[in-house]
Amino acid sequence: MKDLEKVHKNERRDRTIVTVGDIRVGIDCLIVAGPCAVESDKQIITIAKEVKKAGANLLRGNIYKPRTSPYSFSGVQAKGLRYLNEVKLQTGLPIVTEVLDIRDIEKVIEYCDVIQVGSRNMQNYSLLREVGKIDKPVILKRGFMATIHEWLCSAEYILLEGNKNIILCERGIRTFETYTRNTLDLSSVAALKELTHLPVISDPSHGTGKRGLILPLCLSSIMAGSDGVMMEVHTDPNMSVSDANQTISLEKFYDVADKVKKTWEFRQSISNCLI
């Protein structure tokens, strides 16, 4: 299909492996953890050290926050880059952060290892073209109203500009269900294995909006074929400035990371039974 010429899986193209620190995404299990938002230097450094110890291999923390209400906290903005730089010096953990505006890309890639394009910007085509020109990996989250085809078209925009290091991230879609914040679509994870050579991870924090559902949905994502998971973690989850309900404690993260790794090993052990 012409729309998906570069993103489509075909016999001639091997799976894409994206290198993030020591992890080969597509071969190894990517575990992305950290707060929804960077709040202070102390907060992000403390969380980074702990999630690293517990097994995270990529730290998340947004300094620019897309918020539904213009009156909500919109992130610490550019000064957060100094905090993230300090995290890097103290922990060596690779860092992913979201970029909302093409004017911020240049300075963000000086400090961060991976750029996130969030759900609300999945169809921001000028942003997609710009991140297509950089030489750092991009996590492309699924638009909460986007079909799999539309999501893959967005990845195609990035690939067309030359950046092949794309990790798709299922983060839930809006459905008629209201108990959960979104419906985490695990069928997309399995479907993407048939449709594209790009790796895919899933984000049960945004996908469910409920901290109690993060563990079971992380494990089921791995079993559906996910190349990793992303979740929100905080030293004091209820005090998180954003997304508190879907944020787990550091203690819980130890448990989740351990079980994700065990599930990953189990999947490897039966991999010839899976697609």
Site residues, ligand PEP (CB under 6 A) = 36, 62, 98, 118-120, 141, 171, 206
What is the closest distance, in whole angstroms, from the C-beta atom of residue 30 to Mn ion in the complex? Answer: 18
What size, in residues, is the chain? 275
The one among 218, 243, 250, 264 contacting Mn ion by CB under 5 A:
243
The dihedral built from the CA positions of residue 256, 237, 139 and 44, taken in this order, carries a sign that is negative
What is the closest distance, in whole angstroms, from the C-beta atom of residue 218 to ligand PEP in the complex? Answer: 15
Q: What gap in Å lies between CA 273 and CA 166, rounded to an integer?
A: 27
What is the closest distance, in whole angstroms, from the C-beta atom of residue 66 to ligand PEP in the complex? Answer: 6
| DSSP 8-state symbol, 218 | H
Residue 141 interface partner, choices ligand PEP, Mn ion, none, CB cut-off 5-8 Å depending on type: ligand PEP
What is the closest distance, in whole angstroms, from the C-beta atom of residue 35 to Mn ion in the complex? Answer: 8
What is the closest distance, in whole angstroms, from the C-beta atom of residue 120 to ligand PEP in the complex? Answer: 6
What is the closest distance, in whole angstroms, from the C-beta atom of residue 74 to ligand PEP in the complex? Answer: 12
In the complex, residue closest to ligand PEP by CB: 118
By C-beta, is 203 or 267 nearer to ligand PEP?
Answer: 203
Residue 124 interface partner, choices ligand PEP, Mn ion, none, CB cut-off 5-8 Å depending on type: none
| Single-letter code of the amino acid located at 134 | I
Residue 49 interface partner, choices ligand PEP, Mn ion, none, CB cut-off 5-8 Å depending on type: none
Q: According to the binding rule CB under 5 A, does residue 233 interact with Mn ion?
A: no
Alpha helices in the chain (DSSP H): 41-54, 80-91, 105-111, 125-131, 148-160, 186-195, 204-208, 214-224, 250-269
Binding part of the chain for Mn ion, among 121-129, 210-218, 241-249, 267-275 by CB under 5 A, reads 241-249
Backbone angles phi, psi at 173, to 5 degrees: -125, 160
| DSSP conformation letters of 147-185 | -HHHHHHHHHHHHHTT---EEEEE--B--S--SSSSB--
| Single-letter code of the amino acid located at 88 | K
Closest CA to 130 of 153, 100, 167: 100
Question: In the stretch 8-47, what mask flags binding to Mn ion with x, by CB under 5 A?
Answer: ----------------------------x-----------
What is the closest distance, in whole angstroms, from the C-beta atom of residue 139 to ligand PEP in the complex? Answer: 9
Residue 104 interface partner, choices Mn ion, ligand PEP, none, CB cut-off 5-8 Å depending on type: none
| DSSP 8-state symbol, 229 | E
Q: Would you say 202 and 223 are in contact if contact means Cβ atoms under 8 Å apart?
A: no
Q: How far is CA 147 from the centre of its chain?
A: 18
By C-beta, is 64 or 111 nearer to ligand PEP?
Answer: 64
| DSSP 8-state symbol, 94 | -
Q: What gap in Å lies between CA 30 and CA 28, rounded to an integer?
A: 6
Number of residues that bind Mn ion (CB under 5 A): 2
What does the binding site for Mn ion look like in residue numbers (CB under 5 A)?
36, 243
